[in-house]
Chain A
Amino acid sequence: MKIQKILNILTLLTGAIAVTVTSLWIGQQAYSWLPPQAAAESLLIDDLISFLVTLGSFIFLGVTSTLMYSVIFHRAIKDDFTDGPPIEGNITLEVVWTAIPILLVLWIAGYSYQVYEQMGIQGPSEIVHLHNPLGMESAYAEPKDSPANALAEPVEKIDVLAKQWAWVFHYPERDITSTELHLPSDRRIRLALKSQDVLHGFYIPAFRLKQDIIPNHAIDFEFTPIRPGKYRLTDSQYSGTYFATMQANVVVESPEDYQQWLAQAATQKPSIAKNQAASEYAQTSNQSVQTGWVTVPPAAPPLVNSPG
């Protein structure tokens, strides 16, 4: 009798340890499922994702292994048609498993809140006066772990214009337009997001950042790139027929290279940018047999100093 009890506890303990170790391992793997960490914000978000994956794996493995144990060891014997024990409930157990999710929820929410606050990514600016009853005016707050010089003066506010189906970036100080978003590394970036027609979404997976762009709404967006390289900006809010083609390059470079690019672009005459939606549209409307349905014509390809 006693031995049986000890054996049970040992089984439970081994199971719990196995589940814990496995979840910790899966949680570490989570980093490898994500794109490169190219913005200070991505460091924070990835830690949060890894934490949630660890916790989630623990719960998932815990529940499924309990179920699988039952499925394997608690099967009815072939001709045994009797019932199992008529256990209807257990108050202590029920209180415990109500309390545990509540505590977990508070923990996850607290951690998420903290990360969100440190990101300070901004949002719709016309309601800035009631923006932060929770004391989150952290526009220039330094995301944890970011290089110290990120605190330096933010760069000029870059205008981002989204239209069906193209991105246009405007650097107001030198009045430069481009279809490629150039950003200095380790500087707080400030964007003013605008849409000309429908909802669009500003999304750079390598930065883990996203914000919908709404016609007639002024939306400010801030973040800090930390890793030079070339990334993709995509439209994340479905915007009609050529939605999938609405992409642009994001070039993160050293502040010196960035200045140099600005200077160089300022010398260039505006030219018509390449635009996939426009060329696909021209092609399909020339076909003699129409295979699809009519579509909204794409906006004219932008005239830019730097067509990327």
Chain B
Amino acid sequence: MTNVPIEGILLPNEKHNHESPTSWKEYFSFSTDHKVIGIQYLVTSFFFFLIGGIFAMVMRGELMTPESDLVDRTVYNGMFTMHGTVMLFLWTFPSLVGFANYLVPLMIGARDMAFPRLNAVAFWMVPVVGIIMMGSFFVPGGPAQAGWWSYPPVSLQNPTGNLINGQVLWLLAVAISGVSSIMGAVNFVTTIVKMRAPGMGFFKMPLFVWAVFSAQIIQLFGLPALTAGAVMLLLDLTAGTAFFDPAKGGNPVMFEHYFWFYSHPAVYVIILPIFGIFSEIFPVYSRKPLFGYKVVAVSSILIAVVSGIVWVHHMYVSGTPSWMRLIFMLTTMFVSVPTGIKVFAWVATIWGGKLRLNTPMLFALGGLIMFVFAGITGIMLSSVPVDVHVNNTYFVVGHFHYVLYGTVTMGLYAAIYHWFPKMTGRMYSESWGKIHFWLAFIGTNLNFLPMHPLGLQGMLRRVASYAPEYQFWNIIASLGGFLLGMSTLPFIFNMVISWMQGEKAPANPWRAIGLEWMVSSPPPVENFEETPIIISEPYGYGKSEPLTANLSE
């Protein structure tokens, strides 16, 4: 039984006439090709991931000892503020938009995004956001120090007295990033609704496309609230209005509502595409169809809807009346239902398959396990009495890093390895990939697991110094953090070397089913020479039906 070509896997057309966008210059200049823009997003955001990582290393260095002795308190506060901001607004958001940019048109059989120029403009705003953020280190008074929430009145205190200060630049950058995201959301939703190839009904779309669709809808309803809140805060800070300033009769709790009304759903903007990535990867490396495809697709939309009515769980102990605490406890817990459906579906997909533990599969499996853990601590946090104890402690920091590192960043790595051959036309090194996985998996758990006992014991987040009894777990966490920092080295090495001189990749190295695997690696400029006609659902592993009526032979 060796090398029997599998029925149902379509051998793609190896010859292609159009040129692929492979010259280096193209990646550094204005381009409207969604694939180039996708890679621009990915490379830019990874650069900021490293910067955010350096800030994290400084924090973990400071937290090795109970005293505040490595950096000044103001520096520490600037570090965690910029770390959180950079990681969210300059790493996870843009890198996921990068994947969505690269993959969505390919996956739905379109030649490009609906508005290619808008797409390019949206991307170029990301470096602008980055420059403003990093520039804030050089204004008098340094960068913002109020945490990535920037709750007033702390964010309104401006000890330098200057009009241009770190907090103003921070708000400006966040607002620009919001505009860029809204432009992206309009583009994605239009592309997915209008530009699907003939035959691709909603229930024939790959789950990654479903996930992007749901996530971008959240952007459309949520971002206006955040933007409004940010503009009002900016006015309070610069023009002397009193929306949130209690000294002038404003109400700071209103800001919390504006902020979390968007920023809770924002975590689903991040996590939904990761769920999409998992749903693409597990079937390929298990060689089974995705279990319960339709339910998983619909659960994305459900998560998007429910996510809009849970924001108050961040404010149980803010000035929130009891009835509100309890209602939001219930809605929050209900998010676990559609999420649970997905987890079970992935487990059932893997169960009884023919698994191949390539690097993408390892990252996806590791990410899934850590996501289950994060989900469980998430349920604990949603319970009001438990949250009353652990809110704003390291338990929360542990929980959200299991989401943001354990799941999102691991999922991103899985995706990078999985689609690397498609994007670059080269294979990566499997052994370096595995070294990277193990360093990252061990590092993540060493770094973030100790945060849970710390939080249960009452160690607060955002502190530069702490009581000596917390030191033991902090040392473990810091060592894990440094290991995580190191784990990016084999990754960078692998990507750079493989991109330059890796083995040439065939169109479909994983024998995966999906439109993007039917075009050459890397795909030609306009993706498809003839528009594909879709005739079956995705994930037909083990079945002999072709995916399209025309692209095949």
Give A208 to B286 CA distance when docked, in angstroms.
45
Given known A74-B352, A94-B295, contact A84–B542 (CB-CB < 8 A): yes
- Which residues of the other chain, B, contact A209 by a CB distance below 8 angstroms? 388-389
- Which residues of the other chain, A, contact B368 by a CB distance below 8 angstroms? 67
Which A residue sits closest to B160, measured CB to CB? A294
Does A252 interact with chain B (Cβ within 8 Å)? no
Q: Is the CB of B365 within 8 A of A292?
A: no
Give A222 to B526 CA distance when docked, in angstroms.
66
Give A86 to B142 CA distance when docked, in angstroms.
58
Given known A56-B379, A81-B6, A236-B460, contact A49–B386 (CB-CB < 8 A): yes
Give A241 to B356 CA distance when docked, in angstroms.
51
- What string of 1s and 0s marks CB contacts (under 8 Å) between A288-302 and chain B? 000111111100000
Does B163 interact with chain A (Cβ within 8 Å)? no
Does B458 interact with chain A (Cβ within 8 Å)? yes
Does B456 interact with chain A (Cβ within 8 Å)? yes
Q: Which of B2, B77, B333, B365 contacts A79, CB < 8 Å?
A: B2
Does A12 interact with chain B (Cβ within 8 Å)? no
Given known A132-B323, A198-B153, A238-B147, contact A84–B341 (CB-CB < 8 A): no
Q: Which of A56, A64, A82, A241 contacts B380, CB < 8 Å?
A: A56
- Residues of A204-246 at the interface with B, using a CB-CB cut-off of 8 Å, are 205-206, 208-212, 214-217, 219, 232, 234-245
Does B31 interact with chain A (Cβ within 8 Å)? no
Q: Which of A45, A80, A280 contacts B385, CB < 8 Å?
A: A45
* Chain B nearest Cβ from A121, distance in angstroms: 7
Does B334 interact with chain A (Cβ within 8 Å)? yes
Which B residue sits closest to A204, measured CB to CB? B458
- Residues of B310-352 at the interface with A, using a CB-CB cut-off of 8 Å, are 317-323, 325-326, 329-330, 333-334, 336-337, 340-341, 343-344, 347-348, 350-352
Q: Is the CB of A244 within 8 A of B464?
A: yes
Does B269 interact with chain A (Cβ within 8 Å)? no
Give A295 to B75 CA distance when docked, in angstroms.
11
Q: Is the CB of B253 within 8 A of A115?
A: no
- Which residues of the other chain, A, contact B391 by a CB distance below 8 angstroms? 210, 236
- Which residues of the other chain, B, contact A241 by a CB distance below 8 angstroms? 73-74, 77, 145
Give A44 to B71 CA distance when docked, in angstroms.
40
Interface size class of B (residues with CB under 8 A): 35 or more
Stretch at the interface among A95-103, A150-158, A267-275: A95-103
Give A296 to B1 CA distance when docked, in angstroms.
74
Q: Which of B78, B355, B372 contacts A76, CB < 8 Å?
A: B355
Interface size class of A (residues with CB under 8 A): 35 or more
Q: Is the CB of A198 within 8 A of B154?
A: yes
Does A113 interact with chain B (Cβ within 8 Å)? yes
Q: Which of B141, B291, B350 contacts A88, CB < 8 Å?
A: B291
Q: Is the CB of A98 within 8 A of B341?
A: yes
Given known A74-B353, A75-B357, contact A201–B159 (CB-CB < 8 A): no
- What string of 1s and 0s marks CB contacts (under 8 Å) between B120-145 and chain A? 00000000000000000000111001
Which B residue sits closest to A112, measured CB to CB? B383
- Which residues of the other chain, A, contact B466 by a CB distance below 8 angstroms? 244
Q: Which of A63, A89, A292 contacts B293, CB < 8 Å?
A: A89
Which B residue sits closest to A195, measured CB to CB? B246
Q: Is the CB of B347 within 8 A of A82?
A: no
Q: Is the CB of B151 within 8 A of A293?
A: no
- Which residues of the other chain, A, contact B543 by a CB distance below 8 angstroms? 86
- Which residues of the other chain, A, contact B23 by a CB distance below 8 angstroms? none
Which B residue sits closest to A237, measured CB to CB? B392
Q: Is the CB of A87 within 8 A of B73?
A: no
Q: Is the CB of B380 within 8 A of A284?
A: no
Q: Is the CB of A134 within 8 A of B75?
A: no
Given known A75-B357, A133-B323, A212-B319, contact A234–B77 (CB-CB < 8 A): no
Q: Is the CB of B389 within 8 A of A89?
A: no
Does B515 interact with chain A (Cβ within 8 Å)? no
- The 15 sampled A-B contact pairs (Cβ below 8 Å) are A34-B456, A35-B457, A52-B379, A52-B380, A63-B372, A67-B368, A70-B355, A76-B287, A90-B292, A97-B344, A131-B322, A199-B318, A208-B385, A236-B317, A240-B77
Excluding A205-B389, A296-B159, 18 further A-B contacts by CB distance (< 8 Å) are A45-B386, A56-B377, A70-B351, A70-B353, A87-B348, A89-B292, A94-B341, A116-B326, A121-B388, A127-B321, A131-B321, A201-B317, A212-B317, A215-B153, A215-B247, A241-B77, A245-B465, A291-B72
Residues of A at under 8 Å CB distance from B?
33-35, 44-45, 48-49, 52-53, 56, 59-60, 63-64, 66-67, 70-71, 74-77, 79-90, 93-94, 97-98, 100-102, 105, 108-109, 112-113, 115-116, 119, 121, 123-124, 127, 130-134, 136, 197-199, 201, 203, 205-206, 208-212, 214-217, 219, 232, 234-245, 280, 284, 291-297
